[in-house]
Structure 1
Amino acid sequence: MSTRVVFHGWFTFMHFQNFTVFKSLIILTFCSTFSVYSFAESDVEPRFFIRAETSHYFLQTINNSTDHNVNSWQHFRVAPTSDNQLFLRMDRDTIYSTAVIDTEGGATIAFPDFGNRDVTVQFIDENHQTQRLTRLTKGPNVVDVPQTTKYSFVLVRIFYPAQVNKKGLNDVNHLQDKFLIQASSSDSYKTYSHSEFNSSDVHLKLWRQEVLNEVTPKNFRNIEHIFGAADATSSEQRLFGSVYGWGGAPYQDRVYQYSQDFDASMCRTVTMKPPNNSGYWSATVYNEDGMLFNDDAYINSNSAVKNGDGTFTLSFGCEDTKHQRNNLSLAGLNTDRWNVLIRSYSIESKVKSLSSEHRNPFVFEKINACKISRLRKATAWVMTSWIPMNTAMVWIYFKTKETFCEMNIA
């Protein structure tokens, strides 16, 4: 039986003749490797796309804000739904408030007392550079708006997993109405324009797809630097971030793990250890365009049911009785493929660096493959990486239904 190993993002594929076994180790960081879209074949630079993509989201927020202008809020009164989502891969466990602020001459935002609620404030400038998140403390808070560019996008995240609690939701909405922007300038925002790019939906969608065709989960290092300030990122790294998850937070505050796209015709399961930190985790399923399609296709550490050994087993698109616990339905999927994003949040971030010197040598772990037939089981050695840090750590093992085990699921 011949074997070949192919590394693809954070998955390790083991091909044994007609079937595929793959396992990934999630370190709640981008340990994977990705390839960055190369603009070498044209005169277009990544920064032009980044500026146009960012301008697109700036303009959307302004048009949807209360005053249809800068320094005005767009409040999401409930968590994003398939019918109401501002940008790609929004979180179903979060209530958002956004605004575009004119920073010239200085600006501040006053926030009311949220008590013990988990509320963070993020600023994103016109180059898709972002500062570390500000976590609101008990009592009123006043936050200064960074002046890295003329305009800044503010993204307020209010963690609210209990969507059925209407009273609590009304309380959050009441607090949102007390957000106050004080800005010295309120010049009208001008949409970014370049000969190669404009901020129209159609034009950007074409370029976005072209980039995504190249920015696949392989051969890209230092993924932890795709979201951050100028000294922690590059235009190439921010390109991936702006295309795959515009508005993402630095890895010290929010650690994301993207999956590849999966065929919607198969049931898949994943078993993972809970994060070993003071935060929480969530898993949200998106279509291949990165959009929500089913308001129930998400789960978090508050709602998931544990196994007897403390691990969690999640299922995706499974119809059989055995996999109904923690099953995320794919009903309503409007594309042929789907992907899942696992987020890990830490109340007290302990991640200082994700560079290679903090990684142990590769270790080997023996796993059982999914059943090929009643008479034969496959066993493989899977090489995974390990980062010994005080961050949340999750490992994932995907497998198909027995009836699909002989199909290539790459």
Structure 2
Amino acid sequence: MIGNFARAATDIELAKYVSLAGGVNRFFHFRDPGDVDNQPTIRMNFDTLYSTAVVDISDGATLTLPEVGERYMSAMIVNQDHYINDVFHGGGSYTLDTDTFDTPYVIVFMRTLVDATDPEDVAAVHAIQDQMSIEAASSKPFILPDYDEEGYEALVAGLNALLPFLADSTGGFGAKGEVNPVNHLLNTAIGWGGLPEREAFYDGAAPQLPVGEYKIEVPADVPVAAFWSLSLYNDSGFFEKNNRNAYNVNSVMGTQNDDGSMTIHLGGCDDDRVNCLPLMEGWNYVVRMYRPEQQVIDGSWTFPKVVPVD
């Protein structure tokens, strides 16, 4: 099962999104930037609104996207072996074919930055989503092979248990010639559908700390060209519903300190402190740094670590 894990994991994901969209070559748009009840994939983010489409590219297809100005929008193309041969940006038409992406089906995974606190911005992103389209020469239904579901779930659980030993996403996502096979395997289980490190650098942490009060002091000058975020998950890798509706903090919506830095609070949210995410047993988090600068990629700059509140 390890040998074909990436194919099985990706086919299982593709089947979910085909079901959501009602077939291939059709977009399904996530409209609610904080929908805890709709998490088809492990460790999703709430910083962007996703739009997804499984596309039959056996005879070629075209993806058409609108212009979005300075807003972050990326179109990640994932093939059936969980390799990412290209990520598109900006408006225009893009060719999808097997010469480029290697497998008969791919999933187009759109991420469009949204300010979840601003209803007008959410509506603006909805309008962007409505302008995305796909034209394909073939529309053969996607059929999920009969994988051993019990064995697959056991392997996912086993690989996720290695999260504390995985430093970051280096070598985990990208084209076949770009990834490290071991890191690709682990990241397929821990964060299926992650972007290549040139597009987003992922720093995951499972501190193995009890529920309590902690903080992360983030400087004003995080070296990214787009934005950064921190999302908090339960021990299964999903957002867990809380009465504050607080699941992530990012550089777009978070409250800054006077010097432009930001304090992220983990736990101790009952006093309504800002940038606070409630904790649960087994809590862990992922930092995403979008369009990272080289010092992030080469490890000479690292995101601050969590520390207990005195």
Structure-1-length-normalised TM-score: 0.68
Q: Does 1:56 align with 2:4?
A: no
Q: Matched residues in 1 for 2:205 and 2:168: separation?
A: 17
CA distance in 1, matches of 2:168, 2:80: 22
Match of 1:399? 307
Secondary structure, aligned partner of 2:49: strand
Per-residue deviation, 1:244: 0.6
Q: Secondary structure of 1:224's partner?
A: coil
Displacement after TM superposition at 1:299 (Å): 0.9
- Helix, strand or coil at the partner of 2:197: coil
Determine which of 131, 141, 154 is the counterpart of 1:178: 131
Q: Does 1:281 align with 2:228?
A: yes
Q: Is the 8 A contact 1:81 1:292 kept in 2?
A: no
Pairs within 5 Å for 1:23-172: 44=1, 46-65=2-21, 68-136=22-90, 140-147=91-98, 148-160=102-114, 162-172=115-125
The residue number in structure 2 matching 1:328 is 277
Q: What CA deviation, in whole Å up to 9, does each residue of 1:229-269 have, x standing for no partner?
A: 01112443221111110000000000111011434422111
- Paired residues of 2:58 and 2:138 also in contact (CA < 8 A): yes
- Mapped to 2, the partners of 1:152 and 1:352 lie a distance apart of 32
Q: CA deviation at 1:395?
A: 3.9
Q: Is the 8 Å Cα contact of residues 80 and 95 (structure 1) preserved in structure 2?
A: no
Cα distance change on mapping 1:320 and 1:63 into 2, 3 Å: closer
Counterpart of 1:51 in structure 2: which amino acid? R
Amino acid paired to 2:251: S
SS of the residue 1:131 aligns to: strand
The alignment partner of 1:167 has SS state of helix
DSSP-derived class of the 2:306 partner:
strand
Greater share of helix residues, 1 or 2?
A: 2
Give aligned-pair identity as a percent: 23
Q: Give the aligned partner of residue 237 of structure 1.
A: 183
Distance 1:267 1:300 in 2: 19
Shift of 1:77: 1.1
| Structure 1: 5+ residue stretches without partners | 1-43, 359-385, 388-392, 403-410
CA distance in 2, matches of 1:318, 1:248: 30
Q: 1:191 to 1:142 in 2, by over 3 A?
A: same
The two structures, once aligned, show a CA RMSD in angstroms of 2.5
d(CA) in 2 for partners of 1:224 and 1:398? 21
CA distance in 2, matches of 1:302, 1:110: 27
Q: Which has the larger radius of gyration?
A: 1
Q: Is the 8 A contact 1:273 1:395 kept in 2?
A: no
Q: Is the 8 A contact 2:223 2:296 kept in 1?
A: no
Return closer, same or farther for 1:338/1:223 CA change in 2, 3 Å cut-off. same
Contact in 2 for aligned 1:110/1:141 (Cα 8 Å) = yes
Distance 2:135 2:307 in 1: 52
Change (3 A) 1:167 1:222: closer
- Provide the residue aligned with 1:27 in structure 2: none
CA distance in 2 between partners of 1:285 and 1:98 (Å):
23
- The answer as to 2:282 corresponding to 1:337 is yes
Give the conservation status (yes or no) of the 8 Å contact 1:225–1:232.
yes
Please report how far the alpha carbon of residue 314 of structure 1 lies from its aligned counterpart in structure 2 after TM superposition. Answer: 1.3
Give the counterpart letter for 2:275 in structure 1: N
Unpaired runs of 5+ in structure 2? none
In structure 2, what is the equivalent of residue 301 of structure 1? 251
Q: Which has the higher contact order (CA 8 A, sep 6+)?
A: 1
For residue 204 of structure 1, give the secondary structure of its aligned residue in structure 2.
Answer: helix
Checking the alignment, whether the CA contact within 8 Å between 2:223 and 2:295 is kept in structure 1 is: no
Aligned equivalents of 2:189, 2:31: Cα separation in 1: 26
Residue in 2 that maps onto 1:212: 160
The 2-side partners of 1:49 and 1:89 are apart by 18
Mapped partners of 1:110, 1:352: distance in 2: 33
Give the equivalent residue in structure 1 for 2:143.
Answer: 190
Q: Work out the number of aligned pairs and report it.
A: 303
After superposition, the Cα gap between the structure-2 partners of 1:146 and 1:288, relative to the gap in structure 1 and judged at 3 Å, is farther
